[in-house]
Structure 1
Amino acid sequence: CTRVMWTPPLRESFSYPFLVLQMLLVTHILRATKLYRGSLIALCISNVFFMLPWQFAQFVLLTQIASLFAVYVVGYIDIFKLRKIIYIHMVMISLFFFFHFDLKTNFWLVFGLFLAETSCNAILAVKPHILKINVSELSLWVIQGSFWLFGTVTLKYLTSKIFGIADDAHIGNLLTSKFFSYKDFDTLLYTCAAEFDFMEKETPLRYTKTLLLPVVLVVFVAIIRKIISDMWGVLAKQQTHIRKHQLDHGELVYHALQLLAYTALGILIMRLKLFLTPHMCVMACLICSRQLFGWLFCKVHPGAVVFAVLAAMSVQGSANLQTQWNIVGEFSNLPQEELIEWIKYSTKPDAVFAGAMPTMASVKLSALRPIVNHPHYEDAGLRPGCSMPEIWDVEDPANAGKPPLCNLLVKESKPHFTTVFQNSVYKVLEVIEE
Structure 2
Amino acid sequence: MAAKKRHQNQNSNANTETSNSTRKKTTKRNDSKGERGKSGDLLYKLFIAALAISVGYMHRNHVYGMFERDKHFSHLSNLERELSFRTEMGLYFSYFKTIIEAPTFLDGLNEIMYDNITEYPDTINVLKRFNLYPEVALGIGYRWYDAVMTSLNKPTKMCWTVNRGEGMSPVQSCEGLGEPSYFYVEAVFLLNGLMMSVFFLFGVYLSGSVYGGILTVASFFYNHGECTRVQWTPPLRESFAYPFLILEMFLVTHTLRTKKPSYLHSIGIALAVVSFMLPWQFAQFALMTQGVAVFCTYVLGYIGSHKVKVIVTGLLTGLLVSYLLLFGNEMLLTSFFLSSLISIIVIVSLEPFLNILKFRIIIWAVQGILLLLGTLGIKYLISKALNVTDDEHIGDIFRSKFSDFNNFHTMLYTCAPEFDFLAAETYWKLLKTILLPSVMVVVIVVAVKLLRLEYNVWRQTSTEEGEEGDDIVLEGEHRSKPHAEYVYHLFQLAAFTLMAVIIMRLKLFWTPHLCLMTSLLASRKLFGWIGGKEKHYAVVTVLLACMTIEGVQNITHQWSIMGEYSNYPLEELVEWIKVQTPKKAVFAGAMPTMATIKLCTGRPIVNHPHYEDAGLRARTMKVYSMFSKKPLSEVKQNLLDLKIDFVILENSWCLRKQKEGCGMAEIWDIEDPENRHETVQACTKLRDRPEPHFSRVFRNDVYDVLKISKW
TM-score, L = length of structure 2: 0.56
Give the match's secondary structure for 2:231.
helix
User: 2:284 matched to 1:61?
Assistant: no
Give the match's secondary structure for 2:589.
coil
Task: Kindly indicate whether the alpha-carbon contact (under 8 Å) linking 2:331 and 2:388 is maintained by their aligned counterparts in 1.
Answer: no
Distance 1:172 1:297, change over 3 A: farther
Aligned partner of 2:483: which letter?
H
Aligned to 2:675: 399
Give the match's secondary structure for 2:354.
helix
Task: Kindly indicate whether the alpha-carbon contact (under 8 Å) linking 2:266 and 2:313 is maintained by their aligned counterparts in 1.
Answer: no
- Count of residues in Structure 1 that have an aligned counterpart in Structure 2: 429
Equivalent-residue separation in structure 2 for 1:197 and 1:320 (angstroms): 24
Task: Kindly indicate whether the alpha-carbon contact (under 8 Å) linking 1:74 and 1:231 is maintained by their aligned counterparts in 2.
Answer: no
Task: Kindly indicate whether the alpha-carbon contact (under 8 Å) linking 1:105 and 1:379 is maintained by their aligned counterparts in 2.
Answer: no
| Alignment of structure 1 residues 47-196 onto 2, 5 Å | 47-100=273-326, 103-108=329-334, 110=335, 112-131=336-355, 133=356, 135-157=358-380, 166-196=389-419
Task: Kindly indicate whether the alpha-carbon contact (under 8 Å) linking 1:265 and 1:273 is maintained by their aligned counterparts in 2.
Answer: yes
- Shifted more, 50-59 versus 286-295: the winner is 50-59
Give the match's secondary structure for 1:328.
coil
Distance 1:181 1:253, change over 3 A: same
Q: Deviations over 1:226-256 (max 9, x none)?
A: 232233344456xxx9996421121111111
Correspondence for 1:278 among 501, 504, 512: 512
Distance 1:200 1:28, change over 3 A: same
Equivalent-residue separation in structure 1 for 2:402 and 2:710 (angstroms): 50
- Shifted more, 209-218 versus 405-414: the winner is 405-414
Aligned to 1:426: 703
| Alignment of structure 1 residues 322-401 onto 2, 5 Å | 322-385=556-619, 386=621, 387=624, 389-390=664-665, 391-400=667-676, 401=678
Give the match's secondary structure for 1:75.
coil
Equivalent-residue separation in structure 2 for 1:410 and 1:280 (angstroms): 49
Give the match's secondary structure for 2:350.
helix
Equivalent-residue separation in structure 1 for 2:388 and 2:528 (angstroms): 52
| Alignment of structure 1 residues 259-270 onto 2, 5 Å | 259-270=493-504
Aligned partner of 1:178: which letter?
K
Distance 1:252 1:105, change over 3 A: closer
Equivalent-residue separation in structure 2 for 1:419 and 1:399 (angstroms): 25
Distance 1:182 1:59, change over 3 A: same
Equivalent-residue separation in structure 2 for 1:158 and 1:331 (angstroms): 49
Equivalent-residue separation in structure 1 for 2:360 and 2:433 (angstroms): 42
Equivalent-residue separation in structure 2 for 1:82 and 1:308 (angstroms): 39
Equivalent-residue separation in structure 1 for 2:349 and 2:449 (angstroms): 29
Correspondence for 1:230 among 418, 431, 453: 453
Deviation at 1:160, TM superposition (A): 5.0
User: Over aligned residues, Cα RMSD in angstroms?
Assistant: 2.8
Task: Kindly indicate whether the alpha-carbon contact (under 8 Å) linking 2:607 and 2:616 is maintained by their aligned counterparts in 1.
Answer: no
- Shifted more, 183-192 versus 312-321: the winner is 183-192
Distance 1:134 1:402, change over 3 A: closer
Task: Kindly indicate whether the alpha-carbon contact (under 8 Å) linking 2:265 and 2:314 is maintained by their aligned counterparts in 1.
Answer: no
Equivalent-residue separation in structure 2 for 1:156 and 1:63 (angstroms): 16
Task: Kindly indicate whether the alpha-carbon contact (under 8 Å) linking 2:237 and 2:280 is maintained by their aligned counterparts in 1.
Answer: yes
| Alignment of structure 1 residues 410-425 onto 2, 5 Å | 410-425=687-702
Give the match's secondary structure for 2:480.
coil
Distance 1:173 1:244, change over 3 A: closer
Structure 1: tracts of 5 or more residues without a match? none
| Alignment of structure 1 residues 251-266 onto 2, 5 Å | 251-266=485-500
Equivalent-residue separation in structure 2 for 1:424 and 1:173 (angstroms): 37
Equivalent-residue separation in structure 2 for 1:309 and 1:301 (angstroms): 13
Equivalent-residue separation in structure 2 for 1:345 and 1:95 (angstroms): 45
Aligned to 1:43: 269
Structure 2: tracts of 5 or more residues without a match? 1-223, 461-472, 628-663
Aligned partner of 1:193: which letter?
A
Deviation at 1:381, TM superposition (A): 3.7
User: 2:255 matched to 1:29?
Assistant: yes
Larger RCO (alpha carbons 8 Å, 6+ apart):
2
Equivalent-residue separation in structure 2 for 1:413 and 1:278 (angstroms): 50
Equivalent-residue separation in structure 2 for 1:420 and 1:98 (angstroms): 46
Equivalent-residue separation in structure 2 for 1:407 and 1:101 (angstroms): 43
Give me the identity figure in percent: 45
Aligned to 2:435: 212
TM-score, L = length of structure 1: 0.89
Q: Deviations over 1:355-409 (max 9, x none)?
A: 1110111122233333211544333344333246331133334423533333322
Distance 1:332 1:42, change over 3 A: farther
Aligned to 2:145: none
Aligned partner of 2:340: which letter?
A
Aligned partner of 1:404: which letter?
Q
Equivalent-residue separation in structure 2 for 1:160 and 1:306 (angstroms): 51
Deviation at 1:114, TM superposition (A): 0.9
Give the match's secondary structure for 1:421.
strand
Give the match's secondary structure for 1:5.
coil
Distance 1:429 1:53, change over 3 A: farther
Correspondence for 1:320 among 554, 561, 566: 554
Aligned partner of 1:224: which letter?
A
Deviation at 1:415, TM superposition (A): 3.6
Deviation at 1:164, TM superposition (A): 6.5
Give the match's secondary structure for 1:407.
helix
Aligned partner of 1:396: which letter?
D
Give the match's secondary structure for 2:587.
coil
Equivalent-residue separation in structure 1 for 2:670 and 2:343 (angstroms): 41
Deviation at 1:432, TM superposition (A): 4.3
Equivalent-residue separation in structure 2 for 1:408 and 1:134 (angstroms): 70
Deviation at 1:66, TM superposition (A): 0.5
- Shifted more, 415-424 versus 245-254: the winner is 415-424
Task: Kindly indicate whether the alpha-carbon contact (under 8 Å) linking 2:592 and 2:609 is maintained by their aligned counterparts in 1.
Answer: no
Aligned partner of 1:179: which letter?
F
- Shifted more, 174-183 versus 207-216: the winner is 174-183
Aligned to 1:293: 527
